[in-house]
Structure 1
Amino acid sequence: FVHLYNDPRVISGQATCSLELLEQVGKLDAVVAPIGGGGMVSGTCLALSNVAPETKIYAAEPKNADDAFRSFKAGHIIADDAPVTVADGLKVPLKDLTWHFVSSHVEDILLASEQEIVDAMKLIWQRMKIVMEPSSAVPLATILKNKNTFAGKRVGVIITGGNVDMNKLPWMKS
């Protein structure tokens, strides 16, 4: 059995995303990755702690599903039973292995509101023509919200996931 995200093999696979990012753009001051269960951000931690330990790692989470944020602040895993967010790919909880990476290597966990997530998703769709799901927009939403943290810095943004129903885009009226 291979767990969806709380497995060393999955985390190692997720690490290749950050390695590819560094290979393409070079040295970065920070990387912002989405966090739900923590697989992607754990892979980011695994890669960067080994090849670019000076790069700060930030996790980005929906405010309406902020169990990782609350866990990070409390110093232990806090479960969220039924989060409701447009970023449904980030509604899964942290587990023991992913918590280890998050608590050891993440600089901070930043939150984005539902509207900030939708606005960031729309911006990426309009400006970059990238089809992506709301969960993928959370890192950009947190960067836009925390401009002072990232001003003047080279920041990598992990945008993953294209699972979106074209008939249910969050900015379209039903």
Structure 2
Amino acid sequence: MTAPAAQPSPFDPAYAGQDGVQAPAHHPGWQPAVPACRLCGAQPAAAVAVRAHQGLLLMMRFHKIDGPFCRSCGTAVVRELTTKTLWQGWWSPFSLVFFSPFTLVWNLLASRKLAALPAPGPPALGAARVQEGKPVHRRPMAYVAIVPLIWAVWFITGMITHA
């Protein structure tokens, strides 16, 4: 007696055409047709990465949150991580010159992409939308970045005038 042949899954490409049945193009749950926000589930959403950088005296720490985000949740994440970068991102030499400025530019580009989205629809059932909070320029911790910038200008001016 022989064992019956195993039937391939309808989602297996080898299944297409057997018994006159075509395999579905994709499983409905694998990839949504329109991306939804990873925080609240609202649509439309944009696939962006938001970054933060923390410069320590001899070390650095990087943080990245990948989307997709709706306009409201994405704006909240951009504002929070940008403020953290302005507050903590300047305290090592490489951070001051390279990493913090690039992180701020990346977040600016993500912010522009999110701002181009229409207003988000309702959040998914059981999910809550993240509050955008205050803009970055109205957050006191964002102004800590002025300290290393003043120091850099003072140092460069001192090097030029005392040379």
Could you say whether these structures have the same fold, taking a TM-score greater than 0.5 normalized by the shorter chain as the test? no
Normalising to structure 1: TM-score of the pair? 0.23
Q: Which has the higher helix share?
A: 1
Q: Which has the higher strand share?
A: 1
Normalising to structure 2: TM-score of the pair? 0.24
Higher alpha-carbon Rg: 2
